[in-house]
Amino acid sequence: MGNKLVAVITGLVITVGAVITAHAQSLVNGTYQFSSGSASIDGGFACWGTVPAVEMYPTNNAGGQYWIWNGSTAEMNLVPNPGTSGCPAGTLPFMASHDADNTVTTTAAGDAFTIAQSGTGSSVTIKDNRTGKFVSLVTGNQNSTGLAVGMSTTATVWSCKQSNGSTCSFSNPTPPVPVSVQYTPASPSLVDSAAAGATIASYVVTTNPASTYSGANTISGDTLCAVPATGNGSVTLTRALTASDVGSHTCTAVFTENSGMVSAPLTFAVTAPPPPPVPTAISFSPASPSLTDNAAAGATIASFTVTTNPASTYNGTNSLSGDPLCTAPASGNGNVTLARALTSADDGSHSCTLAVAENGTSINKALSFAVAAPPPMPVVFDETSAWTPGTTLTSGLILHRISVARTITGIVGNITLADSGAIDLRQNSCSGTKLNMTSLNLAAAGGTEVNMGVASSALSAGDKIVLCPSGMLASPNSAGSVTISVK
């Protein structure tokens, strides 16, 4: 007996020309329990003359829920094996249809049934061969189960287990046959430079009952397509593509297993590859850089980024022209850097031009930058607890330079003297004066301070200005303030 499926195409799953041959899947002889949810088909009601004699009852291990199957009839276990149940002799033992009200009953001979495997597991349908109806769940609430069993043209799938708790066994299980195919991607596209063996699309064949497909494969249509001889896999190219293959192509794969067959067309496009990326713009960051004339060789003038079309990471070649101060990496994005250390002779404006090239296209952009002297370092003194230039100095205070060299340009005003003696402003120590001090008037009245003029030598990093209470320049108890000007 055969059963032919109509071709179906739904979404990505394609079933075409599937042919399935029915196979018997008989339940082997044994003792079984048939359940749905938490209730089972119970024939124990026949022992007590209840109508209907077979009802749904919460699942238990009592003998009334076990049926002895001989390949044709189902005998309620309590009749031949009453044990201590009290099921009386003469109870009608065999399952049958009560045609008048479509309930399930027991009779002396019973009806012949076909108990067939459903799917691939331990589930069955129970069909009365005489009436063509199935032992099924019907509307009702027998024994507070919320379920009822009766005869119906609609089959119920029952869970089946043996009396020892094992799953049910079948003499001839249904072999799997292919019923659908899924391609991934569903609408593939390849460039005309694809190599022989490249994947057009992978495929998975679904079978009924569900299993891993291991059948035989063939393919027809476009000769570009190939499939493996068996099982799931991929549709691949039989040869390398060329520009002459650009366009639409269709091939049809056929998958066969256990007398079942499904065929599925696969349409794919071949296109020309996108054009290679070419440079379209150069951007510098910062756009107008400035460096000090003490910058070292290799210092960054500006970073640069090249934009391409189609968009991609720039990997082309670079070259520089113009000011020899500039250098750049030979390829790719990067930095324009100094070819050598700068000096004060480089102060001013500079310009160099960066040219970039990729895939036959070249563009360039000028980079202008300034070089200037560094700003003066701030006045930095150490070893002071409460002094800044321009405030009153205290006798004996040491001002110790820790930054770069500076020159004292002038000393203006009076200085506050301690009772212990005069104040001496000198470089490095209290002996060997190196400052022009002839105009310093420590006793001058407020507002009549004198500018001392330029110092005879610069202060270097680490030099000191020392206030010495030595009495060398003024008599004690003079008063006033002093400002030290530096650059």
CATH of the domain at 104: 2.80.10.50
Query: What is the number of helices (H) and of strands (E) in the chain?
Result: 0, 39
Give the pLDDT score at 83. 87
How does pLDDT run along the chain (487 residues), one tens digit per residue? 333 332 332 233 333 333 333 444 779 999 999 999 999 999 999 999 999 999 999 999 989 999 999 999 999 999 999 988 889 999 999 999 999 999 999 999 999 999 988 887 889 999 999 999 999 999 999 999 999 999 999 999 999 999 999 999 888 767 889 999 999 999 999 999 999 999 999 999 999 888 899 999 999 999 999 999 999 999 999 999 999 999 999 999 999 999 899 999 999 999 998 899 999 999 999 999 999 999 999 999 999 999 999 999 999 999 999 999 999 999 999 999 999 999 999 999 999 999 999 999 999 999 999 999 987 654 444 333 444 544 544 544 444 433 333 444 444 333 333 323 333 343 323 333 233 333 333 333 444 433 333 333 444 444 444 333 333 333 333 333 334 444 3
Q: Which of 314, 346, 372 is the last residue of a domain?
A: 372
Asked if residue 228 belongs to a domain, the reply is yes
Query: Domain check: are 98 and 45 in the same one?
Result: yes
Query: Domain check: are 367 and 381 in the same one?
Result: no
Asked if residue 17 belongs to a domain, the reply is no
Query: And the tokens for 55?
Result: 């009802």
For residues 260-270, one letter each, b for 16 or more C-beta atoms within 10 angstroms of the residue's C-beta and e for the rest, the string is bbbbbebbbeb
Q: Which residues pair with 395 in a beta bridge?
A: none
Query: Domain check: are 37 and 150 in the same one?
Result: yes
Cβ atoms of 198 and 237 closer than 8 Å? yes
Please tell me the distance from the alpha carbon of residue 7 to that of residue 103, in angstroms, as a whole number: 39
Burial (Cβ within 10 Å: 0-12, 13-18, ≥19) of residue 98? middle
Asked if residue 13 belongs to a domain, the reply is no
Asked if residue 14 belongs to a domain, the reply is no
Please tell me the distance from the alpha carbon of residue 128 to that of residue 112, in angstroms, as a whole number: 6
Query: Domain check: are 368 and 381 in the same one?
Result: no
Q: Which of 230, 254, 271 is the last residue of a domain?
A: 271
Query: Domain check: are 349 and 435 in the same one?
Result: no
Query: Domain check: are 45 and 117 in the same one?
Result: yes
Q: Which of 271, 301, 316 is the last residue of a domain?
A: 271
Burial (Cβ within 10 Å: 0-12, 13-18, ≥19) of residue 4? exposed
Q: 326 in helix, strand or coil?
A: strand
Query: Domain check: are 299 and 355 in the same one?
Result: yes
Query: Domain check: are 150 and 239 in the same one?
Result: no
Give the pLDDT score at 173. 63
Query: Domain check: are 290 and 345 in the same one?
Result: yes
Give the pLDDT score at 376. 62
Query: Domain check: are 402 and 436 in the same one?
Result: yes
**Residues sharing a CB contact under 8 Å with residue 174, sequence separation 6 or more, in sequence order:** 23, 25, 117, 120, 209
Query: And the tokens for 152?
Result: 């119906």
Asked if residue 297 belongs to a domain, the reply is yes
Residue 315's CATH number: 2.60.40.60
Query: Domain check: are 149 and 40 in the same one?
Result: yes
Most distant pair of Cα atoms in the chain: their distance: 148
Asked if residue 368 belongs to a domain, the reply is yes
Dihedral angle computed from the Cα positions of residues 228, 229, 232 and 236, in that order, rounded to the nearest 10 degrees: 20
**Number of separate domains in the chain:** 4
The pTM score is 0.40
Query: Domain check: are 348 and 368 in the same one?
Result: yes
200 is in which domain, residue-wise? 178-271
Asked if residue 202 belongs to a domain, the reply is yes
